[in-house]
Amino acid sequence: MLTDKMTKTPTILLIYTGGTIGMIKDYKTGALRTFNFEKLLKRIPEINLLKCAIKSISLEEPIDSSNMNTSNWIVISEIIENNYEKFDGFVVLHGSDTMSYTASAISFMFENLSKPIIFTGSQLPIGDLRTDAKENLITSIEIASSQEDGNPIISEVCLYFEYKLYRANRTTKINAEHFQAFTSPNFPPLGESGVHLKFNKQLIYKPTIIKPLKVRKRLDNNLAILKIFPGITKTVVESILSSKGLKGVILETFGSGNAPTENWFVNLLKKALKKGIQIINVTQCVSGSVIMGQYETSVELQNIGIISGFDITTESALAKLMYLLGENIPKNKFKSLFETSLRGEITEVE
């Protein structure tokens, strides 16, 4: 027997934040500029063939993704929060350069999410002859509106680009020119678009109990990313770790979490830890995991209490750190909580 829920047409809210997908080329100068968002929809008449009802909202001032910040993330989260009960899914159009950062942040900000939030964008403006914008947008809307037995197939924050649907907090941008701009180095795609739209349902997060949505908007951005390199000096490390107001550091190390064993380096880390600064060990490698203690060059990091990021991306680690610092987690619980998968952002070892 079909219920009203199963026969109801899905409603999707399209949120335009800015980015290449909503730009048009000035053929006199060759520069890209933003244009009216309503005109963007008129350029894709195929949207009318989708089996869903679409409404759209645009930020008053479209934002180039290079200018994205935590305040913008809160604005995006509030748009979704204020419309959460009115729509069955959300598609966020965003510039590709910082999309993984924003999408990761939104994944942590939304607790008890039971509806799809799909981020997408494009490498070329929608008016270009060979644009990837139409396919990315149309398929993202189709994904957001996909249901089974009246319930959404996707109930997490995702990123769709060039025929692949990824868990958002697993993604990183890998190419500035190719249409295949993103990858998910340590977790398989949740779905793929070809002749048919196929979902890898065994990988998709499914809430067992539907709880009230909570949106966590307290983000602390007093952070730094410290990338280790051969020949890094004490002066550089010390200047970063002694930055006024610093509360957290993403330490990008070599290989499986290795770093210099020189006394000055370890002592500076110890000093920072004593000041209450949270330090997360994340690998510089595109894929793979931090395994502290596997080599002598990471044993000391483990001994002094550096937090392992395991196979988390730098983008996701940054977003997670902002989120947890904003929640004022007690110092004695912070390490264990960061090393726990909260939104599927790390692979938990059984």
Distance (Å, whole) CA 208 – CA 22: 37
Q: How far is CA 164 from the centre of its chain?
A: 15
Strand partners, 215: 110
| Residues noted as catalytic | 20
Distance (Å, whole) CA 143 – CA 152: 9
Contact between residue 283 and residue 275 where contact means Cβ atoms under 8 Å apart: no
Q: What is the rounded end-to-end Cα distance, in angstroms, of the chain?
A: 41
CA distances from 27 to 24, 30, 127, 157, 191 (A): 9, 5, 12, 36, 37
Look at phi and psi of residue 257 and say left if phi exceeds 0, alpha if psi is from -120 to 50, else beta.
left
Distance (Å, whole) CA 153 – CA 231: 49
Classify 111 as helix, strand or coil: strand
Contact between residue 161 and residue 180 where contact means Cβ atoms under 8 Å apart: yes
* Token pair listed for 323: 């989120």
To which H or E segment does residue 172 belong? strand 172-173
Q: Residue 74, CB half-sphere, CA atoms under 13 Å: how many?
A: 12
